[in-house]
């Protein structure tokens, strides 16, 4: 639907960075373009009358049948900096995706180290009170090199904060029932506080069934469907580590979420969807309030719509594993970009490197905050696993329903 508007209807400080030609009528006098309206917080197709449309893309605007003088408008990026509704006069300047300064890089390594230090102190105090150290058990099926590295890093992190840990290595040929039996043994053990099953599992094993078999009190990955359900209801629970790490980054950087627009790109059940649920968590309930307005985009979201949603967002959280998906012209100046994606690529020199979903070098020229890859969300995931393990140990010692990692409240509902 084309909305016909005169220039006087445009909003003060509306962003014309998205100015682009959509269509033009046969007599080359009327242009349809995409405009962001700050009054309605919507991108809309707008009718723009032109007295001349030349190959140089320099236009003179005709508003209410009175010729007015404007700066040249080119079909690229501009930002309106001043507008007088009564006089129909506009001032524009070229924007070129620039921001007043380069985005602040959110140092996930530093923040994760701070959290580990805080946790180490809490574990030390816990043990000094007469409790045994929390105990984390990892199950590793097969000999996947990446999985072995991930588990080794988790065990090293546990050691650093004073959490006891062990890894159970199982062959790729193990049956699903045999794996379930091993998990049940750990569920019944009073010496185990946290259980994680390293994913992915061999194709002949049902991952969902395995994740649901882990006792929800010991489910430090937060993948049990009961814990996921409680998260959906804004109830205290053990939360998946990567989404929890994203939330912690946002909180520790003092990035406002209340009433803000958040776009989550990616809807995976272990990352994208839990992140979206955390972002719109209701502050009136048990979990830590984020109270954002959340839009979820995924592989079937048209690229042009993804760009529109991102331009409206105060915070963009992307978790797709598609390098370069989020570009500078999709970002609202000053927005926060949390890049969860991680992909190994080969650079122009033939060397392997890790990259995220965002075009980092260009996006940081527009954004206000941005996480790097690597060194952003990744370290937070491991730190949150340690935090979940300590919480699980305290809950089991008190025979309580799991305390939320983001709340001091507790619930007596049985898992």
Give the CATH number for residue 139: 3.40.50.10860
- Rounded CA-CA distance 118/310 in Å is 35
- Rounded CA-CA distance 41/344 in Å is 37
Per-residue pLDDT of the chain (415 residues; tens, 9 = 90+): 233 333 333 332 333 333 433 344 444 444 444 444 444 444 444 444 433 333 333 333 333 333 333 333 333 323 332 222 223 333 333 333 334 468 999 999 999 999 999 999 999 999 999 999 999 999 999 999 999 999 999 999 999 999 999 999 999 999 999 999 999 999 999 999 999 999 999 999 999 999 999 999 999 999 999 999 999 998 889 999 999 999 999 999 999 999 999 999 999 999 999 999 999 988 776 556 799 999 999 999 999 999 999 999 999 999 999 999 999 999 999 999 999 999 999 988 899 999 999 999 999 999 999 999 999 999 999 999 999 999 999 999 986 444 545 443 333 334 6
Q: Which of 55, 75, 94 is the last residue of a domain?
A: 94
- 108 is a domain residue: no
Residues tagged active-site: 154, 198, 221
Beta strands in 261-314 (DSSP E): 261-265, 293-297
Do 206 and 238 reside in the same domain of the chain? no
Q: Which range marks the domain in which residue 38 is found?
A: 3-94
Do 261 and 354 reside in the same domain of the chain? yes
pTM beyond 0.95: no
Do 373 and 281 reside in the same domain of the chain? yes
- 262 is a domain residue: yes
- 383 is a domain residue: no
Do 300 and 350 reside in the same domain of the chain? yes
- Rounded CA-CA distance 105/270 in Å is 25
- 354 is a domain residue: yes
Q: Which residue has the tokens 């629970």?
A: 237
Mode of pairing for the β-strands spanning 62-63 and 66-67: antiparallel
Do 248 and 301 reside in the same domain of the chain? yes
- 112 is a domain residue: no
Q: Which of 187, 221, 255 is the last residue of a domain?
A: 221
Do 177 and 215 reside in the same domain of the chain? yes
- Rounded CA-CA distance 229/224 in Å is 9
- 110 is a domain residue: no
Do 249 and 367 reside in the same domain of the chain? yes
Tell me 286's DSSP state: S
Do the beta carbons of residue 49 and residue 64 sit within 8 Å? no
Radius of gyration of the chain (CA): 26
5, 6, 27, 66, 209 from 49: Cα distances, Å: 9, 8, 12, 12, 61
Do 348 and 212 reside in the same domain of the chain? no
Do 289 and 199 reside in the same domain of the chain? no
- Rounded CA-CA distance 2/228 in Å is 42
Mode of pairing for the β-strands spanning 315-318 and 15-16: unpaired
Do 238 and 217 reside in the same domain of the chain? no
Do 240 and 368 reside in the same domain of the chain? yes
Pair of tokens at residue 399: 């025979």
Beta strands in 178-305 (DSSP E): 194-197, 261-265, 293-297
Q: Which of 221, 254, 285 is the last residue of a domain?
A: 221
* Nearby residues of 317 by Cβ (< 8 Å), 6 or more positions away: 246, 262, 263, 264, 265, 275, 279, 338, 340
- 385 is a domain residue: no
Do 18 and 41 reside in the same domain of the chain? yes
Number of domains forming the structure of the chain? 3
- 28 is a domain residue: yes
């Amino acid at each position: 639907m084309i909305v016909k508007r005169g220039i006087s209807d445009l909003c003060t400080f509306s962003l014309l960075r998205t100015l682009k030609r959509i269509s033009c009528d046969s007599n080359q006098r009327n242009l349809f373009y995409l405009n962001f309206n700050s009054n309605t917080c919507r991108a809309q197709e707008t009718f723009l009358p032109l007295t001349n449309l030349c190959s140089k893309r320099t236009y003179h605007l005709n508003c209410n049948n009175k010729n007015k003088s404007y700066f040249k408008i080119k079909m690229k990026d501009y930002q309106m900096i001043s507008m007088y509704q009564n006089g129909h006069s506009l001032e524009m300047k070229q924007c070129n995706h620039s921001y007043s300064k380069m985005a602040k890089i959110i140092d996930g390594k530093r923040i994760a180290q701070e959290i580990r230090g805080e946790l180490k102190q809490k574990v030390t105090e816990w043990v000094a009170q007469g409790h045994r150290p929390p105990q984390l058990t990892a199950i590793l099926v097969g000999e996947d090199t990446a999985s072995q590295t991930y588990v080794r890093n988790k065990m090293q992190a546990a050691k650093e904060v004073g959490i006891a840990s062990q890894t159970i290595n199982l062959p790729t040929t193990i049956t699903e029932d045999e794996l379930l039996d091993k998990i049940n043994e750990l569920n019944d053990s009073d010496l185990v506080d946290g259980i994680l099953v390293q994913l992915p599992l061999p194709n002949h094993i049902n991952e969902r069934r395995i994740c649901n078999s882990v006792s929800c009190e010991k489910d430090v990955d937060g993948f049990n469907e009961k814990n996921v359900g409680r998260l959906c209801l804004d109830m205290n629970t053990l939360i998946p580590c990567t989404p929890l790490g994203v939330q912690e980054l946002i909180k520790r950087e003092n990035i406002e979420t209340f009433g803000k627009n958040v776009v989550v790109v990616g809807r995976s059940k272990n990352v994208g969807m839990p992140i979206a649920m955390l972002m719109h968590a209701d502050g009136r309930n048990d979990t830590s309030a984020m109270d954002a307005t959340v839009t979820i985009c995924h592989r079937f979201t048209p690229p042009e719509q993804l760009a529109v949603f991102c331009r409206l967002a105060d915070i963009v959280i992307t978790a797709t594993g598609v390098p370069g998906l989020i570009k500078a012209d999709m970002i609202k100046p000053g927005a926060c970009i949390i890049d969860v994606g991680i992909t190994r690529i080969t650079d122009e020199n033939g060397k392997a490197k890790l990259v995220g979903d965002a075009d980092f070098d260009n996006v940081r020229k527009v954004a206000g905050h941005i996480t790097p890859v690597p060194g952003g969300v990744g370290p937070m995931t491991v730190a949150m696993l340690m935090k979940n393990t300590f919480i699980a140990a305290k809950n089991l010692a008190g025979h309580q329903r799991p305390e939320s990692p983001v709340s001091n409240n507790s619930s007596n509902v049985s898992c």
